[in-house]
Chain A
Amino acid sequence: DGGITQSPKYLFRKEGQNVTLSCEQNLNHDAMYWYRQDPGQGLRLIYYSQIVNDFQKGDIAEGYSVSREKKESFPLTVTSAQKNPTAFYLCASTPQGLSNTGELFFGEGSRLTVL
């Protein structure tokens, strides 16, 4: 089935460690996004990529890094520079082009807890 797969679903990290969250899609979508969600709050955009080998910072990019070497993959690294990384991370994708409505297709999320 087509969709977006995020892994791992749960991740625990010690302070000072970098961790990488995986996001893979087989929807043939050009654009991919990473959002962060804190308890009881909406989604905040971390990074987005409209095309392979290109990505832009969102509203809260500090302490995070991404790569887009393949159309299907958009991994997010949470670095030790991120001061408060405990959160629920959501990956999404959308087709591009003039007909793009911005409707996002989401993965099931990865919950990161810093110990």
Chain B
Amino acid sequence: SQQGEEDPQALSIQEGENATMNCSYKTSINNLQWYRQNSGRGLVHLILIRSNEREKHSGRLRVTLDTSKKSSSLLITASRAADTASYFCATKGTGGFKTIFGAGTRLFVKA
């Protein structure tokens, strides 16, 4: 069963603009992670935020987590054409060994 739901399903922006993707989940989590997937490739881990954290930064990435609303957002600032990819949120539950993925947001950055 899928845990996360990303919103929007697809996003098209101009280079230099910011891109925001949202993720909602259903059960209690230990942490929430964001991954990136280029077309036809494997997933690459971007950033992890723990359940007791509210915001985290890594380079041009900013992740927020609201456990009361069971939601997270990923902000990519000053986007580049090379950021074109699918982005997935994934959750690791408390006491579980499985990491569960949402359906992803497809981001297209136009040069």
Contact = CB atoms under 8 A, between A and B. Distances in A.
Interface of A: 4, 6, 31, 33, 35, 40-45, 48, 50, 58-59, 88, 90, 92, 94, 101-109, 111
Interface of B: 1-2, 4, 30-31, 33, 35, 40-45, 48, 88, 90, 92, 97-104, 106
A99 B92 CA distance: 13
Contacts of B98: 45, 48, 58
A71 to B, nearest CB: 17
B48 A48 contact: no
B43 to A, nearest CB: 5
Given A43-B43, A104-B43, A109-B41, 17 more contacts: A4-B42, A41-B104, A42-B101, A42-B103, A43-B88, A44-B2, A59-B1, A88-B40, A90-B43, A92-B43, A101-B31, A101-B92, A103-B48, A105-B45, A107-B42, A108-B42, A109-B42
29 contacts: A4-B42, A6-B42, A31-B97, A33-B99, A41-B104, A42-B4, A42-B101, A42-B102, A43-B88, A43-B101, A44-B2, A58-B98, A59-B1, A88-B40, A92-B43, A94-B99, A101-B48, A102-B30, A102-B92, A104-B35, A104-B43, A104-B45, A104-B90, A104-B99, A106-B42, A107-B42, A108-B41, A109-B40, A109-B41
Nearest to A9: B40
Contacts of B1: 59
Residue from A50, A90, A102, A104 having most chain B Cβ neighbours under 10 A: A102
Nearest to B43: A106
Contacts of B88: 42-43
B97 A106 contact: no
A41 B5 CA distance: 11
B43 A102 contact: no
